[in-house]
Amino acid sequence: MFKSIIVALAGLGLSAAVSAQTLTEGEDYERLETPVETWVDDGQIEVTEVFWFGCPHCYRLQPLAAEWYETLPDDVSVVHQPATMGGAWNVHAAAFYAAEALGIEKDLHQDFFDAIHKDGRSLTDTDKLAAFFANYGVSEDEAREALGSFGVKSQVNRAHARLRNMRLKGVPALLIDGRYLVTPQSAGSLDNMPQIADVLVERVREDRAE
């Protein structure tokens, strides 16, 4: 079963001059033996953040990742993919896709993390989720309908199939172009993850230009 990875805050530290030449495959990042399907438009470089709302390390990554996302150029698209390993993981994945279907996910995303990790709320049953969603301009009935919809269940199943193909051992993780995987373990710390991912984005861009 997935477990959130425990990492030291100190980490290994990366130089500001980190480049593709300074990264080592199998140490700083992993290359998937079989790339997974990307979910972005042709010509875009996909950055997938794999997370679980209940994961404390995913929570700590949020401000670091959000700051990095703001710097990404127009040819990069970010995909948030909830991890699905049964129980609360799947409930939270359904909540993510239901919020997306209702058009409130961007407003709700950080607040959902905060509710769990700052306020101690579990948000693992439909009534609590519906009440939480109602803070974002939808009714509780609309929230319940979305949470139980066929479309949301299909998205959770699709995400689970993709997750299995990634062969992840934990979250959080950043997957670049469906093939380069960066984890806290490979990066040495949460702080290093966006730095390494940024170099890998540039590598993909250069490969496509050749």
Q: Is the pLDDT of residue 20 over 60?
A: no
What's the mean pLDDT in 194-207?
Answer: 96
Q: Are residues 122 and 68 located together in one domain of the fold? A: no
Domain holding 202, by residue range, is 42-83+168-209
The confidence band for 210, taking pLDDT boundaries of 50, 70 and 90, is confident
What number is the average pLDDT over the span 123-152? 98
Domain of 58, CATH number, reads: 3.40.30.10
Same domain, 46 and 148: no
3-state secondary structure (DSSP) of residue 182? strand
Q: Which residue has the higher pLDDT, 88 or 6?
A: 88
> For residue 31, what are the β-bridge partners?
180
CA proximity to 59, closest of 190, 192, 155, 176: 190
Whether 151 maps to a domain, the answer reads yes
Each residue's pLDDT tens digit, 42-79: 999 999 999 999 999 999 999 999 999 999 999 999 99
Q: pTM of the prediction? A: 0.90
What is the count of structural domains for the chain?
2
Mean pLDDT of the chain: 92
Residue 19 has pLDDT above 70, yes or no: no
| Same domain flag for 114 and 49 | no
Report yes or no: 107 and 135 within 8 Å, Cβ to Cβ: no
